Every structure is written in C-alpha cells, then in structure tokens.
Amino acid sequence: MSRDKTQMPERPTPSKGFIGSWGWHLLGLATLLSLVGYWHLLSLSALYVDESNGIEQPTIRLLVLLLGLFVVYWHALWLVLQMRSTRMLAVAIVCTSAMFRFVVVPSTPILEIDYQRYIWDGAVLAEGISPHSYAPGEVLEAIEQADAGMPPEEIWLAELVELSGRSESLKESLETIHYNELTSPYPMISQLVFALAAKITPDEASSYQRVTTMKAVLTCFDLVTLLLVIGLLRSCGQHLGWSLCYGWCPLLLKEIANGGHLDSIAICFSTAAVWALVSRMSYRTEELTAYSRGRPLIAGLLLGLAIGAKIYPIVLFPLFATYWLRRGSTLKVALGSMICGTIALASLGPQIAPWFGPHKQEVQEDGGIESFLARWEMNDLLFMCVRENLLPQDNTPARKKPWFDVIPSSWSRSVLDSYSAAKSKLLKSEIPLLENGKPRYSHISFELTRVIMGLATLVIACTLAWRATHPERSADEVVRAAFLTLTWFWLLFPAQNPWYWCWTLPFLPFVRYRAWHAMAALLLLYYLRFWLETHFPNPGVAGTAYDGKYFFYFIIPWIEFGILLSVLAVSWFFAQSANKRSKLATLKSV
C-alpha cells in the first residue's frame, strides 16, 4: 500500500522574516567560506607527502582549519533549517556538497595509508586472483627470490610477481602497505569496487593518479549516500535541510574525499537498506502494519551488500529481523534473513572458507580480519577502561600504567585464570597461559573484554530493535534506533577511529539529543596522536608520567568521549525527569 500523504503529520513551516529574505545569501556566504577552507586543506595536504617527516607536518594548523570548517558547517545547518524545505534547497545542498568533494578529492591523503592496500587488492582481483590468498609480504619475498633467479613455483604467486613488475606505481603501493604480513581484511563487495578502480586505471598511471582514481570512486558512493539521506528524510517527513548534516560534514570530507576510506561503500548500502525498510511505512497508526510483499527481499539484499562491504552493518540485523517479524510475518523474516545471509556469506566466503581447510591454524595467525578482531585497539575509552582493569598492572612501569586502573592485580589474575579455565573446559582443549615463558594476560584480557562488549552490544541492539518496531512507533523511531545501534557498537568497539563514526552520519538528523552533533568535531583530537608521538618522545607531557604515545592512549580519549558522554547522561536524566513530571501532571488532571 502506498503511503497516504494526506495523513502525514504537519511539520512546522519556518517563518520567512530575516532568514527568509537573506537565507540564500547567507548560505552562499557559508558555501564560499567552506570552499576557501577546503582549498586551503588541498594546499596543506601537499606537506604530508613525506610521511617520515612528522615534525614538519602542520597538524595543529590542520586541526584549527577543520574546526573552523565545523563552525561554518554548524551555522549553515542552523540556517537551512530556518528556510523552507523545498526541492531547490535539497538540490543546492547536493551541488555544494559535490563541489566541496571535487576540491578535496585531488588532495594528498593526510595521515592515512590504508588506500595503498585498496590499490593493490584491486589490481590483484582484476587479475582474477583473490586478495585473501597471499599477504603483500609474501609477494615481496617472492619478488626478491625472483630477482635472485628463483622464480616462485606457485602459478598465482608468479602472476602477482609479474603484476608488480608491470607498473612502478603499483609496486610502490605494494611496498608501502602497512602490516604487509597479513592478508587482506576487506570483504569481496569492497574488493569488487577496488577492482573497478584498478580496471579504469591504466598501467602507466602514476601513484598520484591511482590514489586519486580510488578516492573518486569511493566518493561517488558518498554522494549516492547523500541522495539516500534526502530520500530517507522525505520518507520520514523531515526537513530536507537536515541533509546538509551529512553533505557538509567536515569529518566526512576529511575521511572519504581526502583519506579515501572504503567505509563509504558500506555506509551507502546500509543507508539504502534502512530507507528500504521504512520508506513504505504509513503515518497512520492503524496502517503501520501495511507492508509490500517485496520489501523484505530488497532491504535484506541491501543489508547483505552492506555486510559484504564491511562487516559492521551486521549489528543492524536484529532491528531488521524484529521489524519484519512485528510488522510482517515469520515468512518475511525468513525471506529477508535468507537473502541477507546469502549475500553476506557469499561476500565473506573467501575470508571464512580457509578457516575450515587444512591450514586453519596458519590462517588464524596470518589472516587480516582475524588479526584485526583479535588484537587491534586504538582511540577507545569504554573498551580500554574494562580491558586495562582486567589486565594485571602491578609490574607495569609508571610511564605505561593507566591512571584509571582501580582493580587489584590479584583480582585481575583470578578473573583471567577463571576465564581461561572455563574456555578450556568449553572447548575441551588446553588453553596455554604462557607464551615464551610469560603470562598471556594481555591477549586473554583483550579477548574477555571483547566477549563482555560483544554481549553488551547484542543486548543494546535487541532492546533498541524491540522498542523501535512497536506498531505505534513512527519511521523516525526506527531510523533513530539504527543510529543508536551503530553508535553504541562503535562506543564499545576497541578501535574507535574517526572514519568509523561516519557509519552513523546518515542517521544523525534523527537523534533526540543534539549533543551527538559535537562528536565528529571532538574526533579531530585523534590526529593529535601523530603530533604527540613526534613532538614528545620522552615522558612528562603536561606534567604526567607519560610520553606522547601513552598520553594519547590514556588522556586524549577521556577528552574526546568523556565530556560528551557526561553531557548526554545529564541530558538524558533531565529528559527522563521531565517525562515523569509530565505524566504525573496528566494523572493529576485526570
């Protein structure tokens, strides 16, 4: 059943007044200021060509520039929300957003290196070879052996050696890949996009041309996401000016158009999946159960593609499954789950299949995604607090000891030993507690924290899904649940990189507490990591016992996340108190 537009709730129409008369002029001024800022970002990026020269990199200037762009962005967002929600406004936002990206895409990636693996993976897959078969380090070793007159015996490895010799720029990408001892951690949907970029890039292309082409392809997904955000806003009856929240976000331009992160692919498909989920919802309560027959298949297909691009959208599955169940039937749950699972498993298959082969142990040690999930930790707060308190710290030197460690080491050892014993009993195999004669508490504490945070994420995702899919809830509530599910997954994740926050940005217009809009700007503090490590190699930063590296680990995340979470907690408390007072007043009046 199509939505009855006459039943849509009326949205307040902004009064014209001063904003109505000057709104377009002020928006033009904000566009000009942003354009100047992104041109300056383009010039600053040239100073990051030499990554080894960290002292000369203008990181502080970069952060000040991005903060200024955020100030303009927030003012522009306030401005467009005072203007009439028209198609012309949406077109203006799309055009200006595309213009900013057009300026930033040719820039040199700033403090990023992941794109080099994208380039190599794409070239490998374009040759018909799985990027999950050989680590870049293996290819480099094979090249050295071939130069010494010992060509590799494996056919595919020999083809990769020949591929690297076909292009100097491609070989440069191979040589600069970080963690080249690991195979690719990226699923096949993203790999297909990398291969597309490789196909349209000639062999004689320079390194700059390869990087720019890859970023341009990823930015196309980013712009498609902006169009999907506009569609989502229209489906939910929201002001179209909210699309500027996504299109103009400086963090998004820094991470996608400049940094070239592949997350734009999964963001695009996950936004499309949520739109497909809610776009047929009626605004009439009695018609909320109306659901077209093909919707679960479309939404499931899109969610499967999102998971196949990057695994994180899997946390949205409880929301989708609960929605299909409560607003449809078990058949729709089965259809949606089947198509989603089939696409996701087909995309993740090249990474999952080796786990069941004869070299399972070797894959667990050398697989890219397995290593990432098992040990990678960066810029986190909640995960860090739990893990560092689970880890015995009695022998840790002061310059490496977290100031927030409050659990006695004897308790930590007891918990970790009990966990290891329980795991050994469950798996019916002995879990070694020693590695090279030393306790493996670091590995075990990380694993146990992973389990704790994983269970917490599951509980939060299921709770949000159940509340948002109640028949009396609107489409806005479903989209808000998607935002909160991704947000809490990210907050409980051990790697809270700034580009991961971009996962939530398409759904940010639907938040209840506006403090969430400050998160993107606060995440700029992540880039102080590189400045602190190069400028403060010795302990004693700001009167602490930490050098630059550990000052970033143990102090900066508290500024990034602690202040915002505290503000949100206070906002939630006062909102709950106001709701209780309102209910009491209603009861008394009755």
Note the pLDDT of residue 587.
62
30-43: average pLDDT: 96
Q: Of 64-78, 469-483, 564-578, which gets the smallest average pLDDT?
A: 564-578
Does residue 118 sit within a domain?
A: no
Note the pLDDT of residue 590.
56
- What is the band of 335 on the pLDDT scale with cuts at 50, 70, 90? confident
Q: Which residues contact 532 (CB under 8 A, 6 or more apart)?
A: 541, 548, 549, 551, 552, 556
Does residue 570 sit within a domain?
A: yes
Judged against a pLDDT cut of 80, whether residue 366 lies above it is answered with no
- What is the band of 274 on the pLDDT scale with cuts at 50, 70, 90? very high
- What is the band of 473 on the pLDDT scale with cuts at 50, 70, 90? confident
DSSP run (H or E) holding 389: helix 382-390
- What is the band of 281 on the pLDDT scale with cuts at 50, 70, 90? low
Judged against a pLDDT cut of 60, whether residue 16 lies above it is answered with no
Note the pLDDT of residue 263.
96
Q: Token pair of 145, please?
A: 């052996």
Say which amino acid occupies 394: D
Judged against a pLDDT cut of 70, whether residue 69 lies above it is answered with yes
Closest CA to 377 of 424, 443, 326, 333: 443
Does residue 550 sit within a domain?
A: yes
How much is the mean pLDDT over the chain?
86
- What is the band of 402 on the pLDDT scale with cuts at 50, 70, 90? very high
Does residue 542 sit within a domain?
A: yes
Does residue 534 sit within a domain?
A: yes
What is d(CA 310, CA 225) in angstroms, rounded to the nearest whole number? Answer: 16
Note the pLDDT of residue 586.
66
Note the pLDDT of residue 365.
47
Judged against a pLDDT cut of 60, whether residue 397 lies above it is answered with yes
Does residue 443 sit within a domain?
A: no
What is d(CA 495, CA 373) in angstroms, rounded to the nearest whole number? Answer: 10
- What is the band of 23 on the pLDDT scale with cuts at 50, 70, 90? confident
Q: Of 227-231, 312-316, 375-379, 439-443, which gets the smallest average pLDDT?
A: 439-443
Note the pLDDT of residue 431.
62
Judged against a pLDDT cut of 90, whether residue 520 lies above it is answered with yes
Strand-pair category, 438-439 with 434-435: antiparallel
Closest CA to 163 of 211, 131, 196: 131
Does residue 38 sit within a domain?
A: no
Note the pLDDT of residue 576.
81
Judged against a pLDDT cut of 90, whether residue 74 lies above it is answered with yes
Note the pLDDT of residue 358.
39
Judged against a pLDDT cut of 70, whether residue 507 lies above it is answered with yes
Q: Of 35-49, 194-208, 363-377, 464-478, which gets the smallest average pLDDT?
A: 363-377
Judged against a pLDDT cut of 90, whether residue 398 lies above it is answered with no
DSSP run (H or E) holding 439: strand 438-439
Please tell me whether residue 436 adopts helix, strand or coil conformation.
coil
Does residue 415 sit within a domain?
A: no
Count of the separate structural domains present in the chain: 1
Closest CA to 498 of 590, 560, 548: 560
What is d(CA 461, CA 78) in angstroms, rounded to the nearest whole number? Answer: 31
Judged against a pLDDT cut of 80, whether residue 409 lies above it is answered with yes
- What is the band of 280 on the pLDDT scale with cuts at 50, 70, 90? low
**Torsions phi, psi of 574, nearest 5?**
-70, -35
444-455: average pLDDT: 93
Q: Of 14-23, 38-47, 209-218, 565-574, which gets the smallest average pLDDT?
A: 14-23
Q: Of 188-202, 214-228, 276-290, which gets the smallest average pLDDT?
A: 276-290
- What is the band of 370 on the pLDDT scale with cuts at 50, 70, 90? low
Please tell me whether residue 509 adopts helix, strand or coil conformation.
helix
**Torsions phi, psi of 434, nearest 5?**
-120, 145
85-93: average pLDDT: 94
Judged against a pLDDT cut of 70, whether residue 297 lies above it is answered with yes
What is d(CA 269, CA 290) in angstroms, rounded to the nearest whole number? Answer: 24
Residues of the domain holding 535 = 513-590
Note the pLDDT of residue 575.
82
Judged against a pLDDT cut of 90, whether residue 332 lies above it is answered with no
What is d(CA 449, CA 414) in angstroms, rounded to the nearest whole number? Answer: 15
What is d(CA 283, CA 506) in angstroms, rounded to the nearest whole number? Answer: 22
Q: What is the number of residues in the chain?
A: 590
Q: Which residues contact 132 (CB under 8 A, 6 or more apart)?
A: 183, 184, 350, 351, 354, 367, 368
Say which amino acid occupies 25: H
Judged against a pLDDT cut of 60, whether residue 336 lies above it is answered with yes
Q: Of 8-22, 112-126, 357-371, which gets the smallest average pLDDT?
A: 357-371
- Taking a C-beta distance cutoff of 8 angstroms, is the pair 532, 553 a contact? no
- Taking a C-beta distance cutoff of 8 angstroms, is the pair 222, 257 a contact? yes
Q: Give the residue, 363 or 369, on which the prediction is more confident.
A: 369
- What is the band of 376 on the pLDDT scale with cuts at 50, 70, 90? confident
What whole-number percentage of the chain has pLDDT above 90?
60
pTM above the 0.85 mark?
A: yes
Note the pLDDT of residue 364.
43
Note the pLDDT of residue 290.
42
